[in-house]
Structure 1
Amino acid sequence: MSDNFVMRMVELYDGLFALDEKDECDLYLDLGRQFLADGRPTEALQLFRKATVIQPDAPAAWVEMGRHYLIRKAPKAALTALNKALDLGVESAEVHRCLAEALVLQDRFEEAEDELEIGLELDPESPECWFDVGLLRDARGDFDLAVEAFTKAADLEPDKVSHHQRLGFALESAGRRSEAIVSFKAALKLESAAGR
């Protein structure tokens, strides 16, 4: 499906149902998300951009653009889009986690951890934020603090293999081998149960 075809379909739909700006923006966002899920990031970006043109004050469009730029490993563009979403009033742990990811891509680790801390203030039960905090702490050699973060992530999302694996690696690095083995066994058990 070409971009031109999608645009014509949206225009036709708009003509039939008299979409307002919000509905038209939502339609482009939904289509963009679907294109992204289908592995068509270029078309998705065009739709996200169209959504920001139609409704420049729609934070969801800026969040989607930021996520898209992260997938493309374009941290500067991701930061611009995600900060625009924050300027428009978004209060989301996920947005701060995405900002942290973009900052890590620019080797701005302290700022990334600050963003994750803000994310955890907004949602202390975010396993993704705890996991990413663990990654940052592990990378700088703070293994005991990494263990705390990975433990929290694994407690919040016990069926996630990666949480148990990273917890095991952090425990091993902290010199806690017997506990590391328990985490690795939990990860293997989850992998086996998933039929991998």
Structure 2
Amino acid sequence: MGINVDTGDLKVFLRTVSIKGKMFMDSLVNGYNKMLQLNPADAKGIYMDVGTKLRDKGDYEGAIRSFKKVLDVDTVNAEALYEIGRTYLKVGLPNEAIESLGRATNLDRSSALSLFYLGSAYFMVDDNPKAQWALLEAIKLDPTYAEAYYKLGLVYDNMSDYDNAIESYKKAVSIKPNLIKAYQSIGLAYEAKGQREEAVKYFKMALQNEEKAV
């Protein structure tokens, strides 16, 4: 039977892992497990925290290994699958991300974040219909998700559907008025439609927002 773990001990342990990095992760966690007789819930929490710390340090390989340790304890852990998928995206491995994020969204259809990153991964492999589906599902769950509208605009752009692209970008800036890349993308979409005057207007708006941000 597991015992309750003192929060102070956990903080010291996690700080040690953060300093030592992936080479010591398994031995440290295994030793900590034996010492405190961790139950599965405690072990999952530690591996998730370690994975997050390693990813924050830029150790993506170590982070993925740590998140995968959660799956050794709980094979249907949607949070771990989501974090693995996000990390694969960071290192430019969209197919691996699709596999993990697809499993995560099948387990938990209530996560707009999982669907957003799944859509992003599909976009990276030029699977526009699936990217469109995932992003629209993310927006259904969170109608204020500006980045999802922006990414959806990129998908429409990729399909040469400039009217829907412009509509999506405009929705993004209506939610997040300082989203400079969306103004730029609106300008490019109008340029592609041959509407130079409208394109220039939005390029100017992008510049104005850049100046405000300085």
Shorter-normalised TM-score: what interval? Answer: 0.7 to 0.9
What CA distance in whole angstroms lies between the structure 2 residues aligned with 1:132 and 1:184?
19
What CA distance in whole angstroms lies between the structure 2 residues aligned with 1:23 and 1:190?
46
Alignment-derived partner of residue 74 in structure 1: 93
Distance 1:13 1:184, change over 3 A: farther
Q: How far does residue 170 in structure 1 lie from its aligned partner after superposition?
A: 1.5
Residue 130 (structure 1) aligned with residue 149 (structure 2): yes
**Aligned residues: CA RMSD:** 2.2
Q: How far does residue 149 in structure 1 lie from its aligned partner after superposition?
A: 0.3
Contact (CA 8 Å) 1:137, 1:146: kept in 2 or not?
yes
The equivalences for 1:87-102 within 5 A come to 87-102=106-121
- Specify which of 192, 197, 200 is matched with residue 178 of structure 1: 197
Alignment-derived partner of residue 51 in structure 1: 70
Distance 1:19 1:154, change over 3 A: farther
Contact (CA 8 Å) 2:128, 2:158: kept in 1 or not?
no
Contact (CA 8 Å) 1:21, 1:54: kept in 2 or not?
yes
What CA distance in whole angstroms lies between the structure 2 residues aligned with 1:111 and 1:54?
31
Contact (CA 8 Å) 2:187, 2:200: kept in 1 or not?
yes
What CA distance in whole angstroms lies between the structure 1 residues aligned with 2:36 and 2:202?
55
Q: How far does residue 123 in structure 1 lie from its aligned partner after superposition?
A: 1.7
- Identical-pair percentage: 30
Task: Give the number of aligned pairs.
Answer: 195
Aligned amino acid, residue 147 of structure 1: I
Residues 65-86 of structure 1 show CA distances to partners (whole Å, capped at 9, x for unaligned) of 1112222332332222112212
Aligned amino acid, residue 176 of structure 2: E
Contact (CA 8 Å) 1:93, 1:129: kept in 2 or not?
no
What CA distance in whole angstroms lies between the structure 2 residues aligned with 1:27 and 1:141?
46
SS in 1 for 2:144: coil
What CA distance in whole angstroms lies between the structure 1 residues aligned with 2:122 and 2:210?
31
Aligned amino acid, residue 44 of structure 1: A
Aligned amino acid, residue 170 of structure 1: A
Query: Structure 1: where are the runs of 5+ without partners?
Result: none
Moved more, 23-32 or 173-182: 173-182
Moved more, 126-135 or 28-37: 28-37
TM-score (norm 2): 0.80
Which structure would you say has the larger Rg? 2
Alignment-derived partner of residue 149 in structure 1: 168
Aligned amino acid, residue 165 of structure 1: Q
TM-score (norm 1): 0.86
Moved more, 130-139 or 98-107: 98-107
